[in-house]
Amino acid sequence: MLLENKIIYWNDLNSIQQKNMLLRPNIQRNHVKQVVKDIISDVRNLRDEALQKYTNKFDNVQLDSFKVSQDRINKSEFLVDEEFKKSVLLSFKNIYKFHSKQNMNMIDINIQTGIRCQQIVLPIESIGLYVPGGVSPLFSTVLMLSIPAVIAGCKNIILCSPPPIVNEILYVAKMCGINNIFEIGGAQSIAALAFGTETIPKVNKIFGPGNVYVTEAKLQLNQLLTDLSIDMTAGPSELVVIADHSANPIFIASDLLSQLEHGYDTQVMLLTCNHMIAEKVLTEMNKQILNLSRKSIILSALENSRFIVTNNLIDCIGISNSYAPEHLSIQTENSRYILSKVLNAGSIFLGHWSPEAVGDYISGPNHVLPTYGSAIVSSGLSVLDFQKRISVQELTSVGLKSVSHAVMCLSMVEKMDAHSNAIIQRMNFIKNRYED
């Protein structure tokens, strides 16, 4: 047995032990802070020269140009499998259909006579998309980042990914209408997008997951620059499964294993009120893991993972809400009822026939999600993240007069007499005009 003695009986634990069971893997960022700080400084001062240095150092590649030629982008269509193209097209259609409904409506309302207020929605003009390389190039992330950016109306979209960029990424980017593609990865690419270099344009917001160096670069640059924003800080991937007696252990085991292969620091959790389900899931995982190519990654990630048996489903829901998972799979008899009790989750997969793997690629909602408990206050990526909202207020003289006394009263209470003066000057002008 590869997995033994993993089942935890929740109600046998004291409150401190229960709290410890919900701890995430510790992300050690201290050792990368100075490294990233130095990279940022180099890129800011030396620009493309620094990018060449770090690309050679970290990727073992010497590039003549960071920008991928349009010819190479166009040729990618003939260098990928036809079955891949058909699958990507289905994914594109579903993701586009879902995200196209996320555009926020303009607001234009007459608050009262003579006071008109609006909210206009504009795209962020220049954005950067980061697509990780690593063990496998994540072409699915190109879809999840590019589609909402295009729907939002962003004019200047820059995509960066570590070299060599595979044809699958180039093809998907082309399908999404992205042609400004640069072969540059790591913290140095984030710095390049933040400052701009001789070849890479500066952007105003950076999107996309990455390793600890990428995440640290996003954090440092977000604090350093006032004209730069980031989408979110991506931590290790997570999946919680809530299951009852009706669940299929084979399905659950496959879902947990599919999430575990994301990386060594991934964390999965089974929450069930049926100890037989927990035992069967572990048995099934032992069978299925033998045939998986990322077995070593999965076994390492299992050290972070939990298989918890509770007295009832209400306890399972409470644990999940406290943990606030990136992904939540509800595999119960009445999954809609459980859904009504969920307070915190990045994305939810409802019922026995909704594997999280489908959400990574094709069902429609975004797979860039809040991790590490931030689902308590944050949402998954959407079109709204690529837009900004601006309020507009327009008053007539009649409208101003109708609220002038209240504004002067409130501003004087706050001891802001210049605010009152701005009203008085206009009221005097109106009075004098009519007296004349």
Q: Which helix (H) or strand (E) holds 278?
A: helix 275-288
Cβ neighbours of residue 71 closer than 8 Å, sequence gap 6 or more: none
Place of tokens 């890479």: 200
Q: Where are the alpha helices (DSSP H) in 67-137?
A: 70-75, 82-99
Residue 367 marked as a ligand binder: no
Residue 17 marked as a ligand binder: no
Residue 327 marked as a ligand binder: yes
Residue 71 marked as a ligand binder: no
Residue 99 marked as a ligand binder: no
Of the candidates 10, 111, 8, 80, the one whose C-alpha atom is nearest the C-alpha of residue 322 is 10
Alpha-carbon distance of 190 to 217, in angstroms, equals 6
Buried b (16+ CB within 10 A) or exposed e, 14-50: eeeebeeebeebeeeeeebeeebeebbebbbeebbeb
Residue 237 marked as a ligand binder: yes
Residue 31 marked as a ligand binder: no
User: Annotated catalytic sites, by residue?
Assistant: 326-327
- For 287, the token pair is 């069978």
**Could you say which DSSP state residue 381 is in?**
-
Place of tokens 């390492």: 300
Distance of CA 268 to the CA centre of its chain: 18
Residue 259 marked as a ligand binder: yes
Task: Tell me the binding residues for Zn(2+).
Answer: 259, 262, 360, 419
Task: Tell me the binding residues for substrate.
Answer: 237, 259, 262, 327, 360, 414, 419
Task: Tell me the binding residues.
Answer: 130, 188, 211, 237, 259, 262, 327, 360, 414, 419
